[in-house]
């Protein structure tokens, strides 16, 4: 089955939305096979968002992502990558459709509550970034 990486980002954790978001994950038919709460080190956040290293928002993004604890989870479902992107909505909460997680809980294009992998390859790569094989439970 296909996998995607979800992150509940620092703003959503601070705002008390872990429960709301996990409830939505389950309601949308995802299996949570691995999950952890952690705080990223700066170097880890820089690695994870490495593709954005040259973007003007990179430094601010890294600062935001290390500003508090996060939840990371490997979500499994048919069509997991594309489906989760649909559930979370546009990167910019203002442009997200009604009912999407970013529309509901995101505060800005940076503090947008959740992450979702953007391709099959990245779904694998990003779950591998956080989880060892033994951490997956079915």
Q: In the complex, which residues of this chain contact Mg ion (CB under 5 A)?
A: 118
Binding partner selected for residue 121 from ligand IDP, Mg ion, none, CB under the kind-specific 5 to 8 Å limit: none
Asked if 91 is part of the footprint of ligand IDP (rule: CB under 6 A), the reply reads yes
What span, in angstroms and rounded, lies between the C-alpha atoms of 12 and 17?
5
* SS3 call for 119: coil
Q: Is 115 a catalytic residue?
A: yes
Asked if 112 is part of the footprint of ligand IDP (rule: CB under 6 A), the reply reads yes
Cβ contact 122:14 at 8 Å:
no
CA distances from 56 to 4, 47, 130 (A): 26, 16, 26
Return the active site residues: 115
Applying CB under 6 A, the residues found at the interface with ligand IDP are 52, 57, 61, 91, 109-110, 112, 115, 118
């Amino acid at each position: 089955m296909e996998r995607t990486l979800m992150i509940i980002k620092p703003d959503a954790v601070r705002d008390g939305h872990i429960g709301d978001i996990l409830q939505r994950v389950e309601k949308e038919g995802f299996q949570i096979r691995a999950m952890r709460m952690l705080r990223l080190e700066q170097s880890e956040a820089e690695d994870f968002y490495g593709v954005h290293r040259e973007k003007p928002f990179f430094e601010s993004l890294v600062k935001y992502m290390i500003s508090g604890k996060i939840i990371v989870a490997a979500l499994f479902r048919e069509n997991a990558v594309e489906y989760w992107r649909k559930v979370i909505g546009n990167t910019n909460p203002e442009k997200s459709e009604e009912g999407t997680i970013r529309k509901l809980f995101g505060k800005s294009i940076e503090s947008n509550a959740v992450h979702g992998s953007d391709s099959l390859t990245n779904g694998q790569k990003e779950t591998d970034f956080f989880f060892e094989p033994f951490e997956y439970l079915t």
